[in-house]
Amino acid sequence: MNAQLPEYVIDTDGLCLYYKDKPALDHLTLRVPRGGIHAFVGANGAGKSSLFRVLLGFEPASGGSARVLGHDCAHLPPSLRERIGFVNEEHTLPAWMRVQDLARMQQRQYARWNGARYDEVLRHFNVLPAQKVGQLSRGERAGLNLALALAQNPELLILDEPTLGLDVVAKQVFLDALLQATADDDATIVYCSHQMDEIERVADNLVILEHGRLRYMSGPDDFCERVQLWVAAFPDKAPDLWQLPGVLRVQAIDGLSHIVTFDQDESVGARLKLLGATSVQAMPLGLHRAVNAFLAHGHAGTRRAA
Amino acid sequence: MLDFYLSELRRFRTGAAIYALANLVILTVLGQVTNLPGMPLEGHLMILILYALSGLGLALYQLGSYRQPSRWIWLQHRPLHRLHILAAIVLAAITLVALAVALPLFAFLAAQDHYSQHVIDSRYFLGAAWLALATFGAWLAGACIMLQRSRWAFLVLALPWVLALHEAAGSTLLALMLACDLVLLVLVATVFRPDRRVGHGAAATIANALPLQAGFYLGLLLAGSLAYQVALMLVGAHPNNSMQVAHGGYIEALRLEPHETMLAGLAASADPRAGAWRAALAPKTVLEIKPDVRKFAVRDFPSNLGWSTLTDGNTMWTFSHDRMMYRGLQPRTLADAGWLGVGGRGETGPFASQPQMLHRRDSLWLVDRHNVYAMQGRNGSPRHVLHIGTAEQVGGGFTAFGAHQLLLTNRRLLIVDAGAAPGAATSIPLPMAFGDLAHVQAAQVADGMLVSFLYGYRQNEGVAASPQVIYLVDRGGHATEVARRELAHDFPALFEHRDWWVSPALHALTRLPGLLVDNGAVPDDGASRFEPLMRARPPVVWIAAIVATLASSLGALWWTRRTRMTPRERAAWCLACLLLGVPALLSLVVLRPRAPVPAKAPATALTA
Q: What is the pLDDT of residues A42-92, one digit of tens each?
A: 888 888 889 999 999 998 888 889 999 989 998 899 999 999 999 888 888
DSSP string, B455-484: E-TTGGGT----EEEEEEE-TTS-EEEEEE
Choose among B68, B73, B79: nearest Cβ to A109.
B79
Q: Which residues contact B276 (CB under 8 A, 6 or more apart)?
A: B445, B446
Q: How many domains does chain B have?
A: 4
Per-residue pLDDT tens digits for A240-274: 888 888 888 888 888 888 888 888 888 888 888 88
Beta strands in B388-478 (DSSP E): 394-401, 404-409, 412-417, 426-429, 437-445, 448-455, 467-473
What pLDDT sits at residue A306? 41
Determine the 3-state secondary structure of B412 from DSSP.
strand
Whether residue B606 is predicted with pLDDT greater than 70 in this model: the reply is no
**pTM of the full predicted structure?**
0.88
Are B392 and B368 within 8 A, CB to CB? no
Q: How many residues does chain A have?
A: 306
Among the three residues B466, B488, B510, which one is the final residue of a domain in this structure?
A: B488
Is residue B560 included in any domain, yes or no? yes
Residues forming beta bridges with residue A282, ordered by sequence position: A230
What pLDDT sits at residue A305? 43
Q: What angle do CA A18, A22, A25 make, to 5 degrees?
A: 50
Instruction: State the DSSP H helix or E strand holding residue A259, giving kind and residue range, or none if neither.
Output: strand A256-262
CATH code, residues A8-218: 3.40.50.300
Cβ count within 10 A of residue B484 = 16
Q: Region B197-225: what's the mean pLDDT? A: 89
Whether residue B13 is predicted with pLDDT greater than 60 in this model: the reply is yes
Flag if A96 and B7 touch (Cβ within 8 Å). yes
Measured between alpha carbons, how far is B258 from B266 in angstroms, rounded to an integer?
Answer: 13
DSSP annotation of B531 reads G
Please state, in angstroms and as integers, the Cα–Cα distance from residue B317 to each residue in B41, B99, B254, B380, B408, following that order: 19, 34, 36, 10, 26
Measured between alpha carbons, how far is B397 from B326 in angstroms, rounded to an integer?
Answer: 23
Question: For residue B428, how far is the Cα from the chain centroid?
Answer: 31
Considering the domain architecture, whether residues B411 and B313 belong to the same structural domain is answered as: no
Residues forming beta bridges with residue A19, ordered by sequence position: A22
Q: Which residue of B has its CA nearest to A145?
A: B74
Selected residues 181-220 of chain A with any CB under 8 Å from a CB in chain B: 213-219
Measured between alpha carbons, how far is B334 from B337 in angstroms, rounded to an integer?
Answer: 9
Contacts of B11 in chain A (CB under 8 A): 94, 96
Considering the domain architecture, whether residues B410 and B541 belong to the same structural domain is answered as: no
Nearest-CA neighbor of A108 among B1, B71, B74? Answer: B1
Measured between alpha carbons, how far is B208 from B571 in angstroms, rounded to an integer?
Answer: 18
What pLDDT sits at residue B242? 78
Measure in Å the smallest separation between the Cα of A278 and chain B Cα atoms. 33
Residue A25 backbone phi and psi in degrees, to 5: -125, 130
Q: Which residues contact B74 (CB under 8 A, 6 or more apart)?
A: A92, A93
Choose among A58, A108, A219: nearest Cβ to B72.
A58
Q: What is the mean pLDDT of chain A?
A: 84
Is residue B45 included in any domain, yes or no? yes
Of the CA atoms within 13 Å of residue B284, those in its CB half-sphere come to 0
Q: How many residues does chain B have?
A: 608
Strand pairing category for B448-455 and B467-473? antiparallel
Considering the domain architecture, whether residues B57 and B149 belong to the same structural domain is answered as: yes
Q: Is A57 an 8 Å CB contact of chain B?
A: yes
Considering the domain architecture, whether residues B447 and B583 belong to the same structural domain is answered as: no
What pLDDT sits at residue A253? 85
pLDDT band at A304 (very low <50, low <70, confident <90, very high): very low
Measured between alpha carbons, how far is A122 from A94 in angstroms, rounded to an integer?
Answer: 17
Per-residue pLDDT tens digits for B297-340: 999 999 998 887 888 778 888 999 999 999 988 888 888 888 98
Whether residue B118 is predicted with pLDDT greater than 90 in this model: the reply is no
Measured between alpha carbons, how far is B341 from B348 in angstroms, rounded to an integer?
Answer: 5
Question: For residue A133, how far is the Cα from the chain centroid?
Answer: 27
Cβ count within 10 A of residue A186 = 11
Q: Region A91-105: what's the mean pLDDT? A: 91
Adjacency order of strands within the sheet including B315-320: B309-312, B315-320, B325-330, B335-341, B344-345
Measured between alpha carbons, how far is A160 from A38 in angstroms, rounded to an integer?
Answer: 12
Considering the domain architecture, whether residues B480 and B515 belong to the same structural domain is answered as: no
Q: Region A280-290: what's the mean pLDDT? A: 84
Measured between alpha carbons, how far is B121 from A26 in angstroms, rounded to an integer?
Answer: 67
What pLDDT sits at residue A303? 52
| Domain range for B571 | 497-591
What pLDDT sits at residue A1? 44
Number of helices (H), then strands (E), belonging to chain B: the values are: 18, 19
Are A247 and A83 within 8 A, CB to CB? no
pLDDT band at B416 (very low <50, low <70, confident <90, very high): confident
Name which of A18, A19, A27 to mutate to probe chain B: the one with the most chain B Cβ atoms within 10 A of its Cβ. Answer: A27
Are A149 and B78 within 8 A, CB to CB? no
Q: Which residue of B has its CA nearest to A78?
A: B79
Nearest-CA neighbor of B573 among B33, B212, B307, B68? Answer: B212
Per-residue pLDDT tens digits for B543-570: 999 999 999 999 999 999 877 788 898 9
pLDDT band at B383 (very low <50, low <70, confident <90, very high): confident
Whether residue B512 is predicted with pLDDT greater than 50 in this model: the reply is yes
Contacts of B604 in chain A (CB under 8 A): 29
What pLDDT sits at residue B608? 46
Selected residues 54-93 of chain B with any CB under 8 Å from a CB in chain A: 68-74, 76-81
A238 or A54, higher pLDDT = A54
Among the three residues B384, B416, B451, which one is the final residue of a domain in this structure?
A: B384
Among the three residues B317, B352, B384, which one is the final residue of a domain in this structure?
A: B384
Please state, in angstroms and as integers, the Cα–Cα distance from residue A129 to each residue in A117, A139, B112, B553, following that order: 15, 16, 48, 61
Whether residue B272 is predicted with pLDDT greater than 60 in this model: the reply is yes
Is residue B461 included in any domain, yes or no? yes
Choose among A60, A105, A110: nearest Cβ to B195.
A60
pLDDT band at B575 (very low <50, low <70, confident <90, very high): very high
Cβ count within 10 A of residue B114 = 8
Measured between alpha carbons, how far is B80 from B59 in angstroms, rounded to an integer?
Answer: 22
Nearest-CA neighbor of B249 among B469, B495, B485? Answer: B485
Q: What is the mean pLDDT of chain B?
A: 89
pLDDT > 70 fraction of chain A, expressed in percent and rounded: 94
Nearest-CA neighbor of B47 among B168, B120, B138, B114? Answer: B138
Measured between alpha carbons, how far is B47 from A183 in angstroms, rounded to an integer?
Answer: 62
Nearest-CA neighbor of B309 among B178, B470, B118? Answer: B118
Give the ipTM of the model, two decimals please. Answer: 0.87
Q: Region B503-523: what's the mean pLDDT? A: 93
- Which amino acid type is present at position B516? L
Measured between alpha carbons, how far is B507 from B502 in angstroms, rounded to an integer?
Answer: 8
Measured between alpha carbons, how far is B413 from B433 in angstroms, rounded to an integer?
Answer: 12
Is residue B602 included in any domain, yes or no? no
What pLDDT sits at residue B380? 66
A14 or B420, higher pLDDT = A14
What pLDDT sits at residue B45? 94
User: CB pairs below 8 Å between A and B: how many?
Assistant: 100
Are B481 and B470 within 8 A, CB to CB? yes
CA dihedral B501, B504, B510, B514 (to 10 degrees): 100
Are B79 and A79 within 8 A, CB to CB? yes
Is residue B471 included in any domain, yes or no? yes
Measured between alpha carbons, how far is B505 from B500 in angstroms, rounded to an integer?
Answer: 8
What pLDDT sits at residue B399? 85
Measured between alpha carbons, how far is B606 from B190 in angstroms, rounded to an integer?
Answer: 42
Considering the domain architecture, whether residues B448 and B501 belong to the same structural domain is answered as: no
SS (H, E, C) A47-65: CHHHHHHHHCCCCCCCEEE
Q: Which residue of A has its CA nearest to B7?
A: A97
Whether residue B603 is predicted with pLDDT greater than 80 in this model: the reply is no
Considering the domain architecture, whether residues B468 and B323 belong to the same structural domain is answered as: no
Contacts of B69 in chain A (CB under 8 A): 53, 58
Please state, in angstroms and as integers, the Cα–Cα distance from residue B565 to each residue in A51, B114, B201, B562, B591, following that order: 24, 63, 12, 9, 12
B603 or B26, higher pLDDT = B26
Q: Which residue of B has its CA nearest to A58?
A: B195
CATH T-level assignment (fold) for domain A223-305: Alpha-Beta Plaits (3.30.70)
Whether residue A185 is predicted with pLDDT greater than 80 in this model: the reply is no
Determine the 3-state secondary structure of B255 from DSSP.
helix
Number of helices (H), then strands (E), belonging to chain A: the values are: 11, 14
- Alpha helices in B453-604, H assignment, sequence order: 493-496, 498-501, 504-516, 539-559, 567-580, 582-591
Considering the domain architecture, whether residues B367 and B250 belong to the same structural domain is answered as: no
Considering the domain architecture, whether residues B469 and B502 belong to the same structural domain is answered as: no
pLDDT band at B503 (very low <50, low <70, confident <90, very high): very high
Per-residue pLDDT tens digits for A206-231: 898 888 888 888 888 888 888 888 88
Contacts of A59 in chain B (CB under 8 A): 195
Whether residue B352 is predicted with pLDDT greater than 50 in this model: the reply is yes
DSSP annotation of B101 reads I
Considering the domain architecture, whether residues B267 and B278 belong to the same structural domain is answered as: yes
Q: Region A183-201: what's the mean pLDDT? A: 81
Choose among B595, B605, B608: nearest Cβ to A222.
B608
Question: For residue B591, how far is the Cα from the chain centroid?
Answer: 29
Choose among B68, B80, B601: nearest Cβ to A78.
B80
- Which amino acid type is present at position B234? L
Kindly list the domain boundaries of chain A, sorted by start residue. 8-218, 223-305
Are B280 and B433 within 8 A, CB to CB? no
Q: What angle do CA B214, B219, B220 make, to 5 degrees?
A: 100
Q: Which residues contact A94 (CB under 8 A, 6 or more apart)?
A: A102, A133, B7, B11
Would you tell me the crossing angle of helices A168-182 and A138-151 to the nearest 10 degrees? 10
Considering the domain architecture, whether residues B141 and B56 belong to the same structural domain is answered as: yes
Please state, in angstroms and as integers, the Cα–Cα distance from residue A288 to each residue in A202, A223, A250, following that order: 13, 11, 16
Q: Which residue of A has its CA nearest to B193?
A: A58
What pLDDT sits at residue B450? 92
Whether residue B422 is predicted with pLDDT greater than 70 in this model: the reply is no
Contacts of B596 in chain A (CB under 8 A): 18, 20-21, 23, 62
Flag if A219 and B608 touch (Cβ within 8 Å). yes
Selected residues 570-599 of chain B with any CB under 8 Å from a CB in chain A: 595-596, 598-599
Measured between alpha carbons, how far is A247 from A164 in angstroms, rounded to an integer?
Answer: 31
Selected residues 37-56 of chain A with any CB under 8 Å from a CB in chain B: 53, 56
What pLDDT sits at residue A166? 75
Domain harbouring B375, CATH code: 2.40.10.480
Measured between alpha carbons, how far is B18 from B373 in angstroms, rounded to an integer?
Answer: 49
Measure in Å the smallest separation between the Cα of A81 and chain B Cα atoms. 5
Considering the domain architecture, whether residues B292 and B304 belong to the same structural domain is answered as: no
Q: Which residues contact A136 (CB under 8 A, 6 or more apart)?
A: A99, A127, A144
Determine the 3-state secondary structure of B594 from DSSP.
coil
The span from the first CA to the last CA of chain A, in angstroms, equals 48
pLDDT > 90 fraction of chain B, expressed in percent and rounded: 57
